[in-house]
Structure 1
Amino acid sequence: MAGKRQKRRLEVVHPDCAGIDVGGHEHWVAVDPGRCEVSVRCFSGFTDDLQALADWLESLGITQVAMEATGVYWIAPFEVLDARGFEVLLVNSRATRQVSGRKSDVLDCQWIWQLMSHGLLSGAFRPGDAVCTLRAFVRQRSRRIQAQSWCLNHMHKALAQMNVHLGHVVSDLKGKTAMRILRAIVAGERDPWQLATLRDRRLRADEATVARSLHGNWRVEHLFALEQALAHFDFLEQQIGACDRAILSALEALPVRACAPTELATPSRSAHRSAAEQRRLQQALLQVMGVDLSAIPSLGVDTVLVIAGEIGPDLSRFPSQAHFCSWLGLAPPTRISGGKALSGPGTKVNNIAAQALRQAASNARSSRSFIGAAHRARLTRMDTAKAIKATAHQLARLIYAMLTRGQPYVEKGIEAFEATRHDRQLRALQRKARKLGLDLVPAA
């Protein structure tokens, strides 16, 4: 042989970087061994030690830091380092998995530093601090609403144990009739006919039917469970109201984006807000996002609020619609091996904004709009889950276009969809006719 082949090595892309292995009690930090004698140090999770970590990295000239997303333990060091001016990359644990079988905190932080220095890591999307504050309030409100649904389940259970079939004559225990009757029962009323007089006049079931459903055994332990569930429900309703006020304050603290004068879409009804509160929240979202996303059919104010909290108005981190939809987990999977597409689902993505868009897509089934017609057409040729994902993908593309271009949504209508589908079907028939050597002739 003329000579030994030169061994190719990876180039150093980020020389001024560090890797952090995040833990619940301590954080291990690794830097380039050429910068100091001790290139791996351990810092506790206390705030003073986190400040000492930032001081040490500043003294070494570090500008970029990569850390693994571990539970909620990454939040404190992330916020401290981000406030000190470091470029912090939050990395998925799948990207930092060790190749060898060995594992320790020292090896993990050194491996993260090595991957980061060679440019092999990409940071996860995280909106700005002000948007993160809004996101925390929106998520807290969602958890309170979920806890309220658990209280309703407890009420249903207590009524069933007392053989009170109120849930069979009313559609929702949160309605006016059900709440009036439940509060009267907790207050001590037991006469079914007296309780039936509390029914709302819009209830389909008559007073006699409601009275028949309210005959029960009224055992003490079940009444006690019902009373506590109702008290918890009322307490959660107060907390939801407090969350709404905090959300509105967080929206008003965000920068106002320039937007063209537009007429707001009619907001949908809310179980926890009045019409005036819905309109005020919709106006605040318009000022923050720059466009009225609630004008898109099936996107209510609550869905737009989730999108504003999870993503924010700035989508510059996503170069195209394809990147944005891929981050949401709504893009078609590209799993190819041997030149063939692999069957089965792709990587599972847990994204709250994507879940909100899927819920909006499922609601589009009854929408008298272009999106609703497109969704119903998808349901005829594919299963429900795929149709919902495809419609959510369509909504995500609309949101990206509106936020990046600042253009309002223009409704095409069902007629435009039917015309497009008619043209598509005609072209398909013409292709089939040409393959058979035939010509399509329009009827007289």
Structure 2
Amino acid sequence: MLLRMMLDNIDRLTDQITTLERNIEELVVPFCRQVEQLTTIPCVGRFTAAELIAELGVDMTRFPTAGHLVSWAKFCPTTHESAGKTKPKGRTKGNPWLGATIGNAIGALTRTQTFLGARYRRVARRRGKGKAMVAAGNSLLTSVYHLLSDPDATYQDLGPTYHDTLINRDRRARQLAAALEAVTGQTILIRAGKAHIADTDQAA
């Protein structure tokens, strides 16, 4: 009897979910163009796009820049100033429904070979998963803003190696060489992009 009741509950909930999904599909018809634009973002499906539109709307003129949208959604770091001292503070509470939608999308992106996935992993290694979620959510909302602001815009993924292209390789090599010198006590020279351990006479 209990199993039958559980199965009946599952069937009832499944019917309710189907009804809600059908209703969402009908309500989002006037915004089909925006839905198609948003689904060009990796791991953003039709229902995620519908949730974003439900919480943000499609009129981005209310936000002068993408930064204003990100700030309104509370997907940016904040600072607390007291007695002349400024301290970093975590993300403040924003729209919980929008936050959950962004969080689910980023959760699906974390292991993908995409710009947003790489951004999450890059920040998570240095700052932790919480700050990585905010950083990737910031980038995702920025993309959403530009897509909804321009009817002809489509999402162009920058790729997982985009951040590497921004690194000044010569400067980074010098920094790593200096760090190695501090640890090993050896003199390391960078020549033609390669590291060489120099003896005392060469270093002189």
Note the alpha carbon deviations across 1:306-345, whole angstroms, 9 max, x for none.
1011112111111112211111111111322233223553
- 1:48-197 equivalences under 5 Å are none
For the 8 Å contact 1:298–1:360, the answer to whether it is kept is yes
Deviation at 1:356, TM superposition (A): 0.9
State the partner residue of 1:410.
156
Q: 1:424 to 1:229 in 2, by over 3 A?
A: farther
Written as runs of structure 1 = structure 2, the 5 A alignment for 1:393-404 is 393-404=138-149
Residues 91, 134 of structure 2: 8 Å contact kept: no
Tell me which amino acid in the other structure corresponds to 1:306: E
Give SS of 1:313's match: coil
1:314 pairs, out of 51, 59, 66, with 59
Q: Deviations over 1:59-100 (max 9, x none)?
A: xxxxxxxxxxxxxxxxxxxxxxxxxxxxxxxxxxxxxxxxxx
**Letter matched to residue 63 of structure 2:** F
| Alignment root-mean-square deviation, CA | 2.7
Confirm or deny: 8 A CA contact 1:298 1:363 kept in the other structure. yes
- Decide whether the 8 Å contact of 1:292 with 1:408 is kept in 2: yes
Larger helix share, 1 or 2: 2
Where relative contact order (Cα < 8 A, 6+ residues apart) is larger, the structure is 2
Q: 2:23 aligns with which of 246, 264, 277?
A: 246
1:340 aligns with 2:85: yes
Q: 2:165 matched to which residue of 1?
A: 419
Once the two structures are superposed, the pairs formed by residues 7-18 of structure 1 within 5 Å of their partners are: none
Q: For residue 363 of structure 1, what is the aligned residue in structure 2?
A: 108
* Residue in structure 2 matched with residue 21 of structure 1 by the alignment: none
Q: Give the corresponding residue for 2:191.
A: 441
Q: Conserved in 2, the CA contact under 8 Å of 1:291 and 1:402?
A: no
Q: TM-score, normalising length from structure 2?
A: 0.77
> Do the aligned partners of 2:119 and 2:135 also contact (CA within 8 Å) in 1?
no
1:167 aligns with none
Residue 300 in structure 1 maps to residue 57 in structure 2:
no
Does the C-alpha gap of structure 1 residues 354 and 346 become closer, same or farther in structure 2, counting only changes over 3 Å? closer
- Spell out, residue by residue over 1:246-269, the C-alpha distance to the aligned partner (whole angstroms, 9 max, x if none): 1122122x3x6xxxxxxxxxxxxx
What is residue 372 of structure 1 aligned with on the other side? 117
CA spacing shift, 1:352–1:291, aligned 2, 3 Å: same
In structure 2, the CA distance between the partners of 1:347 and 1:417, relative to structure 1 (3 Å rule), is closer
SS at match of 2:191: coil
> Does 1:331 find its partner at 2:81?
no
Give SS of 1:414's match: coil
1:227 maps to 4
Residue ranges of structure 1 left out of the alignment (5+ in a row): 1-223, 257-283
CA displacement at 1:234 relative to structure 2:
0.5
- Larger gyration radius, structure 1 or structure 2: 1
| Distance in structure 2 (CA, Å) of the matches to 1:376 and 1:329 | 21
- In structure 2, runs of 5+ residues without a counterpart are 182-187, 195-204
Partners of 2:176 and 2:113 in 1: CA distance: 32
Structure 1 residues 282-297: aligned runs within 5 Å: 284=32, 287=33, 289=34, 292-297=37-42
State whether residues 298 and 367 of structure 1, in contact with CA within 8 Å, keep that contact through their aligned partners in structure 2.
no
> 2 CA distance for matches of 1:425 and 1:362?
31
Runs of 4+ aligned structure 1 residues displaced above 4 Å come to 429-434
Q: 2:12 & 2:159 partners in 1: Cα distance?
A: 43
2:127 to 382, 390, 393: 382
CA distance in 2, matches of 1:426, 1:231: 66
Distance 2:50 2:76 in 1: 22
Q: How many residues align?
A: 185
